[in-house]
Chains A and B, each alone.
Chain A
Amino acid sequence: GAVVSQHPSRVICKSGTSVKIECRSLDFQATTMFWYRQFPKQSLMLMATSNEGSKATYEQGVEKDKFLINHASLTLSTLTVTSAHPEDSSFYICSARESRLATGEQYFGPGTRLTVT
């Protein structure tokens, strides 16, 4: 149980285009999902917290107009990188917190490798 999927696993796009990444909790409901960014050989940096049915909460320094987050259902959150540039190339990982658990445990997706050319 507690499986989180991400799609796509890899994406290459041209500079100036937008890319959407999906994060799904497959066998549980997640009122809260998190989006992280990870640079090579570095730790995970939290970008935003996504709550079902409400606006996402962005971490300081993260451009909300560039990284659009939508959490339309209890099993799906999407991250759209708008007008992507090469510096947006990174590994993006989502996680989901199971609604019925009060302990903050998060389950992570396998990540999406974004390359902007």
Chain B
Amino acid sequence: AQSVTQPDIHITVSEGASLELRCNYSYGATPYLFWYVQSPGQGLQLLLKYFSGDTLVQGIKGFEAEFKRSQSSFNLRKPSVHWSDAAEYFCAVAPTGGGNKLTFGTGTQLKVEL
């Protein structure tokens, strides 16, 4: 069964500092990979996705993520964090072939200090 691990439950960074949120997955093959962001009391917004090809993917709001097959990782990064980035971030995987269920990590709560 596929699983997703987000090792950091909480992360606090200063505004303007760089950010990296970790995500590791367990799956027999390379799955589809996603990062979502959730603001309090809201649904999820897709930040970026990886299906194939270039392992460095660019997303919205200045986020990027790098797929590393050897490490089964898909870490999310942002060079300079803004206060509005404070939210919950979820990494998710889906089996290739589409139409299948997403498996979510437990999430990382990001706090941004001004």
In the bound complex, residues from chain B placing their C-beta under 8 Å from that of A56 are none
Task: Tell me the dominant secondary structure on chain B's binding face.
Answer: loop
Please tell me which stretch of B16-24, B43-51, B61-69 contacts chain A, meaning at least 4 of its Cβ atoms lie within 8 angstroms of it: B43-51
Is B90 close to A, CB under 8 A?
yes
In the bound complex, residues from chain B placing their C-beta under 8 Å from that of A104 are 32, 94-95, 97-100, 102
Q: Is the CB of B99 within 8 A of A93?
A: no
Is A32 close to B, CB under 8 A?
yes
CA distance A111 to B42 in the complex (A): 6
In the bound complex, residues from chain A placing their C-beta under 8 Å from that of B44 are 44, 93, 95, 108
In the bound complex, residues from chain B placing their C-beta under 8 Å from that of A108 are 36, 43-46
Contact A44 to B32, CB < 8 A, known contacts A101-B98, A105-B49: no
In the bound complex, residues from chain B placing their C-beta under 8 Å from that of A43 are 90, 104-107
Q: What is the distance, in angstroms, from A12's C-beta to the closest C-beta of chain B?
A: 15
**A residues in contact (CB < 8 Å) with B:** 4, 6, 32, 34, 41-44, 46, 49, 91, 93, 95, 97, 101-111, 113
**B residues in contact (CB < 8 Å) with A:** 32, 34, 36, 41-46, 49, 51, 90, 94-95, 97-102, 104-107, 109
